[in-house]
Copies of this chain bind each other. A is one copy, B any other.
Amino acid sequence: MKKRNTGLRSHCPVNFGLEAFGDRWTLLILRDIVFRGKRTYGDFLKSEEGFATNILASRLEGLIEEGILRRDAYATDGRKDLYTLTEKGLDLIPLLFEIVLWSAKYDPRSEARRIVRLVEHIRKDNRGLSRKIMEQVKRGEGILAGYLS
């Protein structure tokens, strides 16, 4: 007798988002992909916030289950896997950008200070910029490098 729990507490749109990425780790994976161009388990593991290996594995699996990430074989190294954002995942970029905006405003030590041009661009046109960035991320490029002053 399997307990088949969808985990869905409600279909309130805010809650739906929280069920998908409402924890302290999941969006860091997305950040690593979008801002830093990371693609492999080992890359994510190196993040400064310090993923525990089991947490990282479980979050990656969750993201794949939800259709936000896709896992493919790495072409030139059979040990590695390549994680790629789906359309559903790419559509979280505007949300990521809003977090950046808020933190840039309220964290006095924010590293957002090092990417003022990007922050300004987000503020003026989150949606438009997101569309451009989605294309960049599709090509596997992180966006941070090009914006560091």
Contacts and interface: CB of A to CB of B under 8 A. Distances in A.
Interface of A: 9-19, 22-25, 27-28, 31, 35, 48-50, 88, 91-92, 94-96, 98-107, 109-112, 126-127
A99 B13 contact: yes
Find the residue from A48, A99, A126, A127 having the highest chain B CB count within 10 A: A99
Q: Is the interface of A mostly helix, strand, loop or mixed?
A: helix
Contact of A95 (B31, B98, B109): B98
A19 to B, nearest CB: 7
A2 B25 CA distance: 27
Contact of A18 (B10, B27, B88): B27
Contacts of A111: 10-13
